Structure formats: structure tokens, C-alpha cells
Amino acid sequence: MAQRRGFREYLAGLLAPRDRNKTLTCLAGAEPVTGSKLPAVQRLQFFLSESVWEPEVVNARRLELLRADPATAPHEGGVLVIDDSGDRKDGTRTAHVGRQYLGRYGKTDNGIVTVTTLWADERIYYPVHAVPYTPARHFAKGKNDPEFRTKLQIGAELAVRARAAGFMFRAVAADCAYGDQDGFRGELAQAGLPFVMALRPRHGIWARAEEAHTPVDAARALAWGGPDDSGDWQPVTRRFRDGHAETWYAADATLGGWGPDGVRRLVVATADPGTLPDKATWYLVTNLPRPGSPREPDSPHPAAGLAEIVRIYAIRNWIEQGYKQVKDELGWADFQVRSDLAIRRHQALVSCAFSFCWAAWFGEPPAPRQTAAPLPEPGRGERGLPRRGPPAGAVLAAGAARGPRLAFPLDRAATLVGRMVQGAPAAAAASPDQLGHGRPRPAPLHPELTDYR
């Protein structure tokens, strides 16, 4: 009972809005510093650091529920995205902390980096697994220690783990931090996983002097005579959720041993083949065969045309537009614990909160807000506003006892998902290898939530 209560209170605290970082005192609605010894804070501290529950078991149950729900169940048209997020952390005694490159800040600093996998399609995305990267200084033999694993190794293991957990996907997608690594792509290919990954424009490869040596060189070698004479380029349409569409161009290029009929294909997608603008050009490497190529009959993966390759990577780009921001809103980096187990528990709980947001979004729209009469302290909320009663049927967990410090988070969840959905790519046109037709459409935001601040 104590663990169930801790789970409910922690999850409600992550979902509820707060004016400060979601540390343990904030989650319990207590005053910073001086409130750290209050019973509510100590209960959450014990729940996170000292109790006996396993984060892997909780996460497995979360994934089981996602697979069982028709609104969130994975299908073969989806994409498995590999990503990592770095957060600043002071000190040296916290597990996984070290001076390393933090992508969100674009520089090397003291912090923690966590490698994650996410399942996504044009309509929804959610985290699957998360494993913190441990810098070499935490191991007795450094990088030569048998327990040490690079971020690339962790990412490849998580992709295999996602497939073993029953998550179907069209391909594994990742940015150039992973796509540039030959060993990483080789691990995925050896595991029988299809992939579509970005390359840096200047990613060098060995070739003869007269041949292209970088993806941008290979793209410039393609014939282009303008929109009326597209040459080697094929027009593809990118549709966006706000209703507008853009005509891009995609082509199979040749770079060293990579080519349209090779084991690896280099696909270039751009808004303007004449100028190849930096912010509107993708250089992608994939092991999905070209339709009609000699590799197609013997390939373990269905063939993918240029439009399909662009669709897959466009889904990965969606993750960049809201995932980190929503994780920050849910308190991903706000933990105040030191041990590896407590950190992984916190991350598992944030993943539960993230998934709860989608469950609320696909459920019935929130009922109109009911404002209760003001209550005497301590029954008033953290900001001095009266607590609201929950709508009928909206229960955080069966049997949860409401108390003066338990916020009702359903409307907050819908607001957070609204931020993610607005940046989603539009559903692609029907294609032979795209599944998931007839799936439920997301419910619109309730009018009272559209001006949330």
C-alpha cells in the first residue's frame, strides 16, 4: 500500500504544473530546504531511494499496457528512434555523472547522458527504454573495463531489446551522431534491423581521387536542370499537420561502395537540389533495398522508395520538436538522488507520466472545470488557488485516496500532449508498406486548455 501511494503521489507531482524544478520537496508541495524533513517529502524520498520495487518491472508493465491499447499499440509502419539527452549535474559522487558532451547545450560540461529509444508514427510517440551512459572514470580499468559500454553500444542493445519486447517498426532512425559510426550501423545490420540514419554533409569516405568523397559531393554530382527538368531527382511531397505541403526532391546517390543497388544506399532529400541548403537537406544512409533492385528478392527487409525513406526520417525529426521540452516539463532532470537505482527509478516514473499524457489524450476529453469553494489551509493549492474536484470517471489510479496535496493532473496531461501533437507530421499518403489505417484519431484539446500558460 505504501508503494502504491508513493507511486500515485510521485506521478501526480510530475504531471501537475509547478513554479520551480520538480525536486522531491516540489513534488510533495513542500517549501524548499526547510520543508525537506516533512513526512510527505520523506515518504517520496524513501519510495525513490530505499524501497524494493524494480524500475525494469514497472517499465515492462507500462510497455505491456501500451501494446495492449489500440490507440498506442505499435505497428510495422512505425519507427524506432534512438536518441540521447544530456543534463547538467554538479558534483562527482552521483552515479553516471562526468564531464562529457551534452547535446542540448552543444558543449562539453559536467552532467548525465541517457540513451533512450522511442516508438513513433505520424500520430504518437513515447519512450520505450532508457539507460544512463556511465563515463569511463567510473570503472576501475576505464574504457578497457569489461563492464564499460559506449553510447553507441547501449543504443544498439536497446534497439534489439525493443524488438524482443514486441515492438514492430519499419526502421531504426537516428541522427548523424549515430549514423556517422560504421560500427553502430554494422551492429544493427548484424542484428537484422533495418535503419535510416542521417550523415554529416562532410562525412568522409575513402574513394578514388576523381570520385565523390562526402555526401554533399555525391549530391552535387547528380543531374539537376530545374523543376521542369529534375534529372536524377524525384519530387516528393511533405505534408504538415498545419495543412501546408512542401515539394522536396530526393535521389539515390553514389558514394564509394554505397549506391542505389548496394548494401548501403545514400539517399539525399532537399528542398532545393540546386543549392542544397544546410537546414533543408538530409543525407541519409539506409540498408532498405530500392524497389526493383537486384538486392530486393534476397533482402530480409521490404523495399523502400524515396518517399518512404523521407517519411521515416521526417518522423524522427518530430521527436526533436517536443520530446525534450515535454520531458523537462515532467521533471526528467530534476531528481535529487545519487544512486544508479534511484536515478533509473525516477526516469521510469517520468516515462510513466509521459505515457499517461497520451492515455489522457486518447481518452474522453476533460470535463468542464469545476471550481470548488475555497478551503481553509492547508487545503488550498500550491499557488493559493482552491483545489478542483475531479470529473466523473477521471481517476489517477483505482482506489487512490485524494488528499489536500494530491493535484488532479488530467487537464495538465492534455495540455502537454497538445504541444507534441501540434508539431506532428501529417499522415502520409497510402503506400504498400505503411500500416495502421483506421486507427483512432486524437481528441481535440478542450477549449479551456487552449490558452494555458
Q: pTM of the entire structure?
A: 0.81
Rounded CA gap, 253 and 342, in Å?
Answer: 48
Rounded CA gap, 256 and 218, in Å?
Answer: 9
Strands (E), 182-274: 195-198, 234-239, 245-253, 265-270
Give me the mean pLDDT over the 220-241 stretch: 90
Helices and strands, number each (H, E), in the chain: 11, 10
CA atoms within 13 A on the CB side of 360: 27
Which of helix, strand or coil describes residue 107? strand
pLDDT over 70 at 382, yes or no: no
Contact 268, 218 (CB under 8 A): yes
pLDDT tens for 82-130 read 999 888 888 778 889 989 888 777 888 889 999 999 999 988 999 999 9
Cβ-based neighbours of 198, under 8 Å, separated by 6 or more? 174, 175, 176, 179, 282, 283, 284, 285, 313
The three cell numbers locating residue 218: 555525391
pLDDT over 60 at 284, yes or no: yes
pLDDT over 90 at 53, yes or no: yes
pLDDT tens for 200-223 read 998 877 767 777 889 999 999 999
pLDDT over 50 at 400, yes or no: no
Between CA 120 and CA 126, with CA 124 as vertex, the angle to 5 degrees is: 65
CA atoms within 13 A on the CB side of 284: 32
Contact 46, 338 (CB under 8 A): no
Rounded CA gap, 425 and 240, in Å?
Answer: 5
pLDDT over 70 at 388, yes or no: no
Rounded CA gap, 34 and 41, in Å?
Answer: 11
Cβ-based neighbours of 149, under 8 Å, separated by 6 or more? 133, 134, 157
* Share of the chain residues as helix, strand and coil, in percent rounded to the nearest 5: 35, 15, 50
